Amino acid sequence: MWKWIWPRVGATPISQGLDSEMFDRADYPYSDTFVREAIQNSLDARHDLTLPVTISFTFHQKDLGEQRVFLAEAIDLRNQAGLAVPEEWARGEVSWIAIEDFNARGLDGDLGSRISNFWNYWLNFGQSNKDGAGRGGRGIGRVTFLIASRVHSVVGFTRRVQDGRTVACGMTVLRAMQTPKGFRSTHAYLAAEEDDEASIYRLHDSTEFHDSLVSAFGLTGYRDASAQSGLALIIPYPHQELTREGILASSIEHFAPAIISGTLVVRTNDTVLDASTIDEIAEGVVSEFRVEAIQKDVARYLELIREALRAEPIAISISDVNSGLQGLRNEQWAIVLQNAVREGKAVCLEIGFPLQKGAKTHDVSLKAIVRKTPENSRPIDRFYREGMSLPDVRAKTPGELDVILLVEELELATYLNCCEGKAHLDLLESKEIRTKLEDRGYRQPFKVKRLVKGLQAELRNFLTPDITEPDENVFDTFFAIADPDPGKKSGKVKKPDKPPEPPPPPPPPRIPPFALETVGDGFRFKANPAYTEWPVNVSITMAYADGSRSPAWSEFDFRSSDLTTVASNCEYQYIKNKLRAVNCGPNSVIEVSGFDIKRELDARIKVWKNAQDD
C-alpha cells in the first residue's frame, strides 16, 4: 500500500471546501467546466507550436486489482474523516477517467520550492505563476477535477520538458478536524514523507512506483521512457454525469475554433475528434449541446467558425473606444456591408482599436463573422478567446443576426484574461480586477473591456439597415377583418332622429425635442430635426431597473465619475444620478456610456423651457 499523508496543522489558517458553486452551476455544470479546465490547461502548456495538442479522456471500469494499493489509504482516510465512500469499493469494483495530454510541457517548476508551478498546482489554491498570456491564471480551476470525483481525489503523473523527469503526486479532499494525533488539514497527499523545512512533500519517485502507477491506471502514453512529455490525471470514481458523449459535445461547444484550426485534438476511448471528424461527431452528440442554437443547427455553427477562420476580413478601425462603431454607421462602405448582410451573405470583419498600457498604445484587433439568421432559427452568439469560449459574453437581445467573435491577438487576449471571472465564463468589473489591470499598467482599465463585451450587440445594430418604409400589412394577423355581408338581423333597428355630430379632430401629435437610442453600454440622445421651439432644457434621471415604476438608485450602482459623457451644443452637469443639460439647440447631442450591460438601464427624460428648476 503506497502511503498517503494527512498533515497536522499548527496555528496556520485553513480553508474548508472546494468553492464548487463557481464550477458547478445549473447553466454550466461541472461536466462542462471539467472539460473546459482540462483542455485549457493542455492548450496553455502546448510545447511544439507546429503540432496540435492532443488530450485523451479514457473511461475505465473493472474489478479492483492493481489500483487498490494506490487508493486504499485515501479511502481509509475518508472513513476516518466521516466522508462517504462509494459502494463499489466495498464490492471490489473501481472506475476512473484517465486524462492524458501530449505535445504539452508537463507540470513543470522547481520540485523543492513551495511557490513553483508544481507545488502551486498541488498545494496553493488561488495562486498561479501564469503571466496572463494563457487562458487561465486564477490558480483555482483545478478544483474541477476534484469535484468530478465522487471521492474528491485526483492522482497526477507528468513527464516534463523542463528536465525530462517523471514525477507523480496525488491529493484527496478530507475535512479539517481534531484527531487523537492532532488537528488535521483539509487535504491529504500521495507522498512518501513531509519536508517541514520546505513546506512541501518528498514524493514517491522509485521506478517501481512509476511503472506500477502507469500499469494500474492504463496510462498508455507513458509506457516507456521515449513517450511524449505531458500530464496525466486520474479521476477515481467519476460522477455518472461525465460521459464520452458529453465530453465530445463540450469540446465542440467550447473549443471548436481550436479544433477546426488544427490546434487541438480530443480523444475519448476510440473516438478521435479533430478538424476532419468534427462535423460527423457533432451530429452524433447533438442532444448533448447546451446552447439551443447550436443544438438545432450545429452545421451552421461550425460553418460560421470555418468562415471566420478562412475568410479575408474587411478591416475596420475604431479610433474612439467610447463611441465604438456607431459613428461609422452611415459611411458608404458600411451601407454596402449592411446590404450584404440583408442579402444573406457572411461578412467577416477585423475590428481594430487602441489599448493603452503604460505609456504605450497597442493597436489590437479581433475578428467577427456576421450573417443573417435563417428564418425560424435562433441566432448563434459566441465569443472565443484563443480558441476557448466565454459563453456569458453575448448580446442580451441577439435579434436576427448570427455573430461570432474570435480574439487571437496576444496583447488583447492577455488583457481580457485579466478581466475574466474565476470560471472564465464572462468579462467582469470588480475592485479585484481593476487592481489587477492597474498593477499591469492598463490605463482606463475597463474601457476596452466594455467595448469588447458590447460588440455583439453593437455589430448587430451597425449591420442592420435602416427601415425607411413601414410594412402596411404587419398587423394583418392581429386584427379581425369585418364581414362584408353581415346578413339580416332579427328585430327592428331604430333609425336615429338626426345624424350624430362628427367627433372633434384629434390634437396634432406632440413633437418630442429629442430622440433617445441605446448604444453599447449606454445611450445617446440627440435633437429631433422636426422640433422647432429651441432652446430647451432637459433632465435625464438614470437608474437600473428593479421592476418598479420608479427604480431606486444607489451610489454603488454607478457614479457620474464612472461614466463617459460626450456632449455638444449644450451645457450639462451631474447631480447624483441626474444629468441636467441646458440651452440645448437643434444640433445638440449627448452620449453617456459606462453602464453595466448585464443590467437594464432605466433612463427618464423631462424637458422644460424656462430657467426654473426641474
For the chain, count helices (H), then strands (E).
14, 27
- How many other C-beta atoms can be found within 10 angstroms of the C-beta atom of residue 411? 15
**What percent of the chain is predicted at pLDDT more than 90?**
55
Task: Report the Cα–Cα distance between both ends of the chain, in Å, rounded.
Answer: 81
CA 277 to chain centre: 26
Contact 463, 401 (CB under 8 A): yes
Q: For residue 425, what is the enclosing H or E element?
A: none
Give pLDDT, residue 23: 44
Main-chain phi, psi angles of 52, to 5 degrees: -75, 155
Q: Which residues pair with 8 in a beta bridge?
A: 184
Cell numbers for 579: 444629468
Beta strands in 261-380 (DSSP E): 264-268, 271-273, 314-317, 347-357, 360-372
Q: Which stretches of 13-133 are DSSP H helices?
A: 30-44, 68-80, 87-90, 117-123
Cell numbers for 350: 477585423
Cell numbers for 368: 467577427
Single-letter amino acid code for the residue at 610 = N
Spell out the SS3 assignment of 174-235: CCCEEECCEEECCEEEECCEEECCCCEEECCCCHHHHHHHHHHCCCHHHCCCCCCCEEEEEE
pTM of the model: 0.72
Q: Which residues pair with 525 in a beta bridge?
A: 516, 590
* b/e map 137-165, b = 16+ CB within 10 Å: bbbbbbbbbbbbbbbbbbbbbbbbbeeee
Distance CA 567, CA 525 (A): 10
- How many other C-beta atoms can be found within 10 angstroms of the C-beta atom of residue 570? 19
Cell numbers for 38: 482540462
Cell numbers for 282: 457533432
Give pLDDT, residue 137: 44
What burial class does residue 502 get, using C-beta atoms within 10 Å of its C-beta: 0-12 exposed, 13-18 middle, 19+ buried? exposed
Q: For residue 601, what is the enclosing H or E element?
A: strand 601-608
Residue numbers in the chain where pLDDT is lower than 50: 20-23, 131-132, 134-139, 468-469, 474-475, 478-479, 611-614
Cell numbers for 517: 437610442
Q: Cis check for the bond before 486: say yes or no (omega within 30 of 0).
A: no
The side-by-side arrangement of strands in the sheet containing 564-568 is 514-519, 522-527, 589-593, 564-568
